[in-house]
Amino acid sequence: MLYHLHGLLVDWFSGFNVLRYITFRSAYAFVTALVISFLLGPWLIRRLRRLQLGEQIRAEGPAGHKQKAGTPTMGGLLILAGVIAPTLLWADLTNRYIQLVVAVTLGTGLLGFMDDYLKVVKKQSKGLVGRYKLVGQIALGLALGLVLYFFPLEAGHAGETMELPFFKGVLLNLGLFYIPLVVLVITGTSNAVNLTDGLDGLAIGVVSIVFVAFTGLTYVSGHRVFSDYLNIVYLPGAGELTVFCAAMVGASLGFLWFNAHPAELFMGDTGSLALGGALGTVAILIKKELLLVVLGGVLVLEALSVMLQVWSFKRRGRRVFRMAPLHHHFELGGWHESKVVVRFWILAVLLAMVGLSTLKLR
């Protein structure tokens, strides 16, 4: 909004010229997201407690988690408020990159909200039936894939292309197969974040680290000089996603303030599906789908641990891990919850650095 008032504000005071710069607006989107989280968080926690909208802890989980029963959930509403409001305030709202990432974030957030609503308000223990949730994720991914395929965001850049890490400016044209790839990224990433959300501060900390990396990637992807220097595809207009990513980092850290051990607030599916949807969409829009596998390596490991556990139990009748997702395996192995979380954060930082290093290993 402020970006669109730039012309009028500059006539009144020349200092408002800074609104032209993505770096300035990104920095203040981050600050705005933090402030919103700090101001809104305590009120939301009190409200959720008053409505008795608390988390239900599954009986087969680690025994130490039972004391978390009743902790307010649906905290993803705080994350959504923390990222959407600053984006609307500081970003160029005519930018198609912004329009698409906001739409998918809200869509996956709504899907998660429906699941949380059925669980904590309607007291349906399973929430939204798994196949319905999957249908919703596929529908959102399909819609995004069709838009990108038939209406490319930038002239000269086919919507069905994907950048290959370790190769200079190489784009792989997938044709119609690009659409199912988009569906896979959106559903896979949103579910991976959902599976990672099992310990205080774990998912939000990992996601914030990955979004820090994507804040830099979106900026250089939309900057002709930096993209040429790094030999990555230049996407005019993609730099505006930096504002969204910075707001997401601020919203994530703001939520972590209340979600750190012992958590006062859980994000629920409202937050985890929205975070995953946003992360997958950003990766798709800047053609870094394969790089997301490295940057979000912790999320990938968590999802793979569940798939491997299910496959092994069905085929061999044996479990590979003490419990899946992976963080519960280490927790049941004697690691304190906080140790698991911090070590997974460290691994996320390491993988983020490895992922970013591929920009020069070409």
pLDDT in tens, 206-219: 999 999 999 999 99
- Mean of pLDDT values over 279-298: 96
CB-side exposure of 5: number of CA atoms within 13 Å? 9
At 7 the pLDDT is 60
At 359 the pLDDT is 85
Whole-Å CA distances, 55 to 120, 253, 294: 7, 21, 31
- Work out the pLDDT band at 231, boundaries 50, 70, 90: confident
DSSP-based three-state secondary structure for 225: helix
Q: Tell whether the torsion through CA atoms of 289, 293, 298 and 301 is positive or negative.
A: positive
At 92 the pLDDT is 93
- Work out the pLDDT band at 336, boundaries 50, 70, 90: very high
At 288 the pLDDT is 94
Extract the tokens encoding 90: 């500081």
At 16 the pLDDT is 64
- Mean of pLDDT values over 344-351: 97
Please tell me which residue, 282 or 117, carries the higher pLDDT value. 282
Q: Which ranges of the chain would DSSP assign to H, the alpha helix?
A: 6-12, 22-50, 76-90, 96-116, 130-150, 178-196, 202-221, 224-230, 241-259, 268-285, 289-295, 297-316, 326-332, 337-357
* Percentage of the chain lying above the pLDDT 90 cut: 67
> Which amino acid, 301?
L
Per mean pLDDT, which of 127-131, 155-159, 292-296 is the most reliable? 292-296
* Percentage of the chain lying above the pLDDT 70 cut: 90
Instruction: Answer yes or no: is pLDDT of 355 > 80.
Output: yes
Q: What is d(CA 283, CA 213) in angstroms, rounded to the nearest whole number?
A: 11
Extract the tokens encoding 269: 């599916």
| pLDDT tens readout for residues 79-108 | 999 999 999 999 999 999 999 999 999 999
Instruction: Answer yes or no: is pLDDT of 156 > 60.
Output: no
- Mean of pLDDT values over 319-347: 93
